[in-house]
């Protein structure tokens, strides 16, 4: 057994089915051993994509996603993706190769203080220095990633604790030089003693079972208190965010609880899709207007950040309940009537059991008002989608895609203006079928998210919505997707601009500097990476191109559609700060 075998044995015992990597000599034993133990090793083209892919797996399965990267720049290239996962509350294990234990701090290749670098972006960092500590440390890393507020954990594994002992001894003795002089003998003795400490008892580890994690069930008294609030409410509103489904395996049960509660519900982030496409309690528009008039607001797994107007746009007279694993977030920016420190999904399930039949009859006028608001917004979207623009109207394009997506399709979004427009039109089909960056708003997630989604669901159709600017970060992952035979269709909304920024910059500052892009041949780039590349410029060609793309994807050939879109005023004044 070598260190790589120990790593792989723990991953397998903890339910890991995929490991994402960009290979390097420091981590080769992890990859080889993982393959030998039946774990799919997916090698990508950018280290950031290893973490984005692992993040997607964590969100869709509830099992920590695993990324393995080599030392130095291999690790530093992941930092944005790790911070994105931290803010999205995704449980990840980042395995980083490291300099040999005896060479640390002596100027070895790619030797930096990786622990200090990763600590601010991770829940915990675990440097390992002995083979016998690998297994226990990894098991602790899994438990840390999942407990409380889930998040990424970094484990540093020096190269000499991963390779076979005889190989490492050969390396060390060659470097030591030896010799018969006193100094040579002392040097060899020191190396031998160091090796003894590194490898002692390294073959005694036996991986344990999958670790139990506290589900963070709510206090029954708080459940009863909130149920009483709901019974007296006349204009209730429920907002659920991604942290509502951190226990991914319970997503269907959470969806059933939402339906049982029967309140008007808005879903955000990773919670999108919990209620399918057309559930009568689900609303997709006019959330702020509703919150201004609601007399009871239940916010689950969704902090009072910029997306909710920092809580200041909720009716000042309303009873407000916040629920989540992140205790400080419960009272941040707006103090609620009740703050429930518990898993949001578990709370909804307990609340549905406690409430029984909701007082839905008294909510009828409120539902009618909300449905009228919803219909008005839908009419405005249809009106904008019917407008003629240069090339394709982006809303009309999204409408055509919505009509064609498979019933179990997965949606990945990466970009600004085009992607935000698409979110008003395309509807997630099911729980855990929507992947967006989360609160960090990171560009570049698309390729990695698509890789992770394809690994978890190789038989499902995956639609990747790209802005033309955002696509530049991860188009290279179509090489990865082509090698996987992934059923991914990327639609690049090519408007020749960083439109999300240009809208307000030009209007406020009168200059488009740094916001313009040429309409490049992204479909040709896709072909270069092994995908099918299609160009779409005219509305009359849209249906055929989309149908062709679906056929290619169904055959295991990923597709890049370069869709030239025109400009609309649909999202005027949409800057977020």
For residues 210 and 164, what is the distance between their CA atoms, to the nearest angstrom?
27
Q: Which two tokens stand for residue 124?
A: 């915990």
For residues 81 and 161, what is the distance between their CA atoms, to the nearest angstrom?
27
Mean pLDDT, range 257-268, rounded to an integer: 96
For residues 558 and 480, what is the distance between their CA atoms, to the nearest angstrom?
10
Secondary structure percentages of the chain, helix, strand, coil, to 5: 50, 15, 35
pLDDT at 253 over 60: yes
For residues 278 and 90, what is the distance between their CA atoms, to the nearest angstrom?
28
What per-residue confidence (pLDDT) applies to 575?
A: 64
What per-residue confidence (pLDDT) applies to 181?
A: 60
Are 301 and 270 in contact by the 8 Å Cβ rule? The answer is no
Mean pLDDT, range 35-47, rounded to an integer: 98
What per-residue confidence (pLDDT) applies to 19?
A: 98
List, for residues 331-362, the tens digit of each pLDDT value.
999 999 999 999 999 999 999 999 988 777 89
The pTM score is: 0.95
Give the burial class of 374: count Cβ atoms within 10 A of its Cβ; 0-12 exposed, 13-18 middle, 19 or more buried. Answer: middle
What's the whole-number average pLDDT of the chain?
93
pLDDT: is 366 or 189 the higher one? 366
Q: Residue 184's pLDDT band (boundaries 50, 70, 90)? A: low
What per-residue confidence (pLDDT) applies to 99?
A: 87
Mean pLDDT, range 71-92, rounded to an integer: 96
List, for residues 126-158, the tens digit of each pLDDT value.
999 999 999 999 999 999 999 999 999 999 999
Q: What are phi and psi of 181, to 5 degrees?
A: -70, 165
pLDDT: is 472 or 212 the higher one? 472
| Domains 3-199 and 222-372 agree in fold | yes
pLDDT at 178 over 80: no
List, for residues 466-520, the tens digit of each pLDDT value.
999 999 999 999 999 999 999 999 999 999 999 989 988 998 999 999 999 999 9
Give the burial class of 405: count Cβ atoms within 10 A of its Cβ; 0-12 exposed, 13-18 middle, 19 or more buried. Answer: buried
Nearest to 342 by CA among 426, 199, 243: 243
**CATH number belonging to the domain at 3-199, selected among 3.40.50.970, 3.40.228.10, 3.50.50.60, 1.10.3720.10:** 3.40.50.970
**CATH number belonging to the domain at 386-564, selected among 3.30.70.940, 1.10.10.10, 3.40.109.10, 3.40.50.970:** 3.40.50.970
Q: Residue 191's pLDDT band (boundaries 50, 70, 90)? A: confident
As beta bridge partners, residue 397 has none
For residues 265 and 257, what is the distance between their CA atoms, to the nearest angstrom?
12
What per-residue confidence (pLDDT) applies to 468?
A: 95
For residues 320 and 165, what is the distance between their CA atoms, to the nearest angstrom?
60
Q: What DSSP string runs through 180-197?
A: SSHHHHHHHHHHHHHHHH
For residues 564 and 260, what is the distance between their CA atoms, to the nearest angstrom?
44
Q: What DSSP string runs through 484-507?
A: HT--EEEEEEE-SB-HHHHHHHHH
What per-residue confidence (pLDDT) applies to 124?
A: 97
Are 464 and 489 in contact by the 8 Å Cβ rule? The answer is yes
Q: What DSSP string runs through 536-562?
A: E--GGGHHHHHHHHHHHHHTT--EEEE
Nearest to 11 by CA among 133, 135, 131: 135
Q: Residue 192's pLDDT band (boundaries 50, 70, 90)? A: confident
For residues 194 and 169, what is the distance between their CA atoms, to the nearest angstrom?
10
Between the two ends of the chain, the Cα-to-Cα distance in Å is 52
| Domain range 222-372, CATH architecture | 3-Layer(aba) Sandwich (3.40)
pLDDT at 567 over 90: no
What per-residue confidence (pLDDT) applies to 214?
A: 87
Are 84 and 144 in contact by the 8 Å Cβ rule? The answer is no
Cα dist from 410 to 272, 428, 452, 487, whole Å:
11, 7, 11, 10
As beta bridge partners, residue 488 has 462
Map out the domains of the chain as residue ranges. 3-199, 222-372, 386-564
pLDDT at 256 over 80: yes
Mean pLDDT, range 567-574, rounded to an integer: 72
For residues 450 and 486, what is the distance between their CA atoms, to the nearest angstrom?
9
Are 216 and 323 in contact by the 8 Å Cβ rule? The answer is no
């Amino acid at each position: 057994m070598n260190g790589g075998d120990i790593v792989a044995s723990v991953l397998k015992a903890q339910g890991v089915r995929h490991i994402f990597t960009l290979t390097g000599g420091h981590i080769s034993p992890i990859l080889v051993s993982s393959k030998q133990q039946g774990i799919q090793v997916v090698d990508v083209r950018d280290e950031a994509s290893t973490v984005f892919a692992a993040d997607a797996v964590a969100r869709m399965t509830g099992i920590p996603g695993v990324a393995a990267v080599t030392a130095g720049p291999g690790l530093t290239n992941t930092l944005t993706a790790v911070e994105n996962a931290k803010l999205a509350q995704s449980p990840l294990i980042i395995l980083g190769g490291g300099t040999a234990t005896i060479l640390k701090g002596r100027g070895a290749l790619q030797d930096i203080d990786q622990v200090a670098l990763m600590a601010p972006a991770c829940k915990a960092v675990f440097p390992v220095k002995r083979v016998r500590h690998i297994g226990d440390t990894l098991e602790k890393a899994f438990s840390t990633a999942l407990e409380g507020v889930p998040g990424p954990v970094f484990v540093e594994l020096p190269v000499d604790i991963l390779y076979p002992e005889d190989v490492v001894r050969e390396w060390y003795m060659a470097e030591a030089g030896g010799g018969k002089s006193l100094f040579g003998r002392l040097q060899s003795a020191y190396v031998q003693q160091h090796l003894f400490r590194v490898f002692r008892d390294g073959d005694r580890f036996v991986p344990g079972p999958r670790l139990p994690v506290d589900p963070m069930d709510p206090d029954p008294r708080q459940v009863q208190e909130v149920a009483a609030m709901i019974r007296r409410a006349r204009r209730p509103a429920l907002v659920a965010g991604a942290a509502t489904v951190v226990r991914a395996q319970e997503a269907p049960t959470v969806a059933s609880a939402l339906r049982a509660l029967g309140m008007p519900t808005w879903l955000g982030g990773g919670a999108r899709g919990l209620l399918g496409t057309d559930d009568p309690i689900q609303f997709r528009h006019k959330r702020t207007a509703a919150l201004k008039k609601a007399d009871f607001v239940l916010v689950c797994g969704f902090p009072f950040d910029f997306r909710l107007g920092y809580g200041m746009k909720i009716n000042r007279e309303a009873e407000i309940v916040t629920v989540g694993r992140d205790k400080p977030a419960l009272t941040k920016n707006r103090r609620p009537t009740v703050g429930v420190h518990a898993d949001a999904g578990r709370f909804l399930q307990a609340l549905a059991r406690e409430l029984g039949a909701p007082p839905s009859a008294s909510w009828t006028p409120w539902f009618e008002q909300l449905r009228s608001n919803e219909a008005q917004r839908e009419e405005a979207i249809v009106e904008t989608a019917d407008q003629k623009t240069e090339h394709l109207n982006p809303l009309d394009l999204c409408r055509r895609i919505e009509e064609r997506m498979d019933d179990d399709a997965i949606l990945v979004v990466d970009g600004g203006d085009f992607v935000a427009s698409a979110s008003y039109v395309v509807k997630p089909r099911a729980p855990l079928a929507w992947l967006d960056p989360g609160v960090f708003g990171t560009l570049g997630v698309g390729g990695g998210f698509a890789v992770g989604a394809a690994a978890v669901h190789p038989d499902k159709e995956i639609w990747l919505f790209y802005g033309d600017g955002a696509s530049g970060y991860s188009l290279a992952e179509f090489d990865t997707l082509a090698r996987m035979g992934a059923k991914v269709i990327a639609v690049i909304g090519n408007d020749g601009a960083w439109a999300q920024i240009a809208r307000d910059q030009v209007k406020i500052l009168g200059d488009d500097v740094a916001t313009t892009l040429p309409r490049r041949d992204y479909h040709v780039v896709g072909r270069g990476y092994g995908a099918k590349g299609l160009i779409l410029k005219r509305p009359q060609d849209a249906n055929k191109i989309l149908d062709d793309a679906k056929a290619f994807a169904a055959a295991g050939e990923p597709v890049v559609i370069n869709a030239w879109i025109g400009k609309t005023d649909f999202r005027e004044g949409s800057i977020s700060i």
